[in-house]
Amino acid sequence: MRCAGSPVSLTLAPGRAVQATGEAVLSTPAAQHVSGRTPDGGIAARARGLTKAYGSGETAVLALDAVDVDIARGRFTAVMGPSGSGKSTLMHCLAGLDTVSAGQVWLGETEITGLRERELTRLRRDRIGFMFQSFNLIPTLTAAENITLPMDIAGRRPDPRWLDRVVDALGLRDRLGHRPAQLSGGQQQRVACARALASRPELIFADEPTGNLDSRAGLEVLGFLREAVDDLGQSVVMVTHDPGAAAHSDLVLFLADGRIEDELPGPTAEAVLERMKRFEVVRRPSGDGLGGQEG
């Protein structure tokens, strides 16, 4: 996967730098700085030495290579990188949806690596919203039933005013009685978005939430995620390939070969595009087969 090369030094903020070498860094959270930001709001999720390997032996794939990251609370973080760079794996591991091979993950103050499945399930249910790359809607349930399913399972009642707001913002009012097969891809994605937001979770993970949407629907989803952060104090982590979508975030993390290689605060679409180009130029000579755009 990863080519050996000279260490990359990333300046993250005044006085902060991190060495991105091939070595795993395992240390206590307070001991060092890492990718992401530590604003006043604190940390919504945190990983140290997060390593994830799939398979074993010759066919093993190192999807995440000792990632250290802080996801700021009350901020909108975007994650970008080539296909196969580990974006989805990072989201799944941070959300406690997948086990890690090494390292530690915290949601808020709670370390989730090592939690038992039952505790983890409850924590996820109460605090996390997840929008998957594939929508993961239940085909036999209506849109409305899909949206409230996680809360129904948890025995919690949705706040009707919040639910109304979510449904209207996502333009789903007249689709609530439809089953997924009766909805377009964009509408299904909006249902998945509403489901992730319905319980008003502290932390929302969205894996390419605009990937299957036309630009207008995409802007609505982005606007809603932005609003969730600005007006409601929620935290959002979003994977995207679209510099325009990334520009809605507060901070872009660039992933390559299972490592966070760079980050860009206050992104504009132009700056993101520029950074992506620079990546290509810097990385191409190493001949490690990067550069495929995601499907």
Residues found near ligand ADP in the complex (CB under 6 A): 54-55, 61, 63, 81, 83-89, 294
The 85-104 site mask, x for binding Mg ion (CB under 5 A), equals --xx----------------
* Closer Cβ to Mg ion, 46 or 87, answer by number: 87
Nearest distance, CB of residue 15 and ligand ADP, angstroms:
31
**Cβ count near 75 (within 10 Å):** 21
Nearest distance, CB of residue 16 and ligand ADP, angstroms:
26
Query: Do strands 16-20 and 8-13 pair parallel, antiparallel, or not at all (unpaired)?
Result: antiparallel
9 - beta bridge partners? 19
Task: Residue 152: name its binding partner from Mg ion, ligand ADP, none (Cβ under 5 to 8 Å by kind).
Answer: none
89 and 64 Cβ atoms separated by less than 8 Å = yes
Task: Residue 85: name its binding partner from ligand ADP, Mg ion, none (Cβ under 5 to 8 Å by kind).
Answer: ligand ADP
Nearest distance, CB of residue 1 and ligand ADP, angstroms:
7
Task: Residue 61: name its binding partner from Mg ion, ligand ADP, none (Cβ under 5 to 8 Å by kind).
Answer: ligand ADP
* Closer Cβ to Mg ion, 18 or 276, answer by number: 276
Q: Is 212 in the site for Mg ion (CB under 5 A)?
A: no
Q: Residue 14: helix, strand or coil by DSSP?
A: coil
Q: Cα separation of 61 and 161, whole Å?
A: 45
Task: Residue 83: name its binding partner from ligand ADP, Mg ion, none (Cβ under 5 to 8 Å by kind).
Answer: ligand ADP
Nearest distance, CB of residue 2 and ligand ADP, angstroms:
11
276 and 261 Cβ atoms separated by less than 8 Å = no
String of b and e for 251-279 (b: at least 16 CB within 10 Å)?
A: bbbbbbbbbbbbbbeebeeebbeebbeeb
Alpha helical stretches, state H, 170-268: 185-198, 215-230, 243-246
Residues that bind Mg ion (CB under 5 A): 87-88
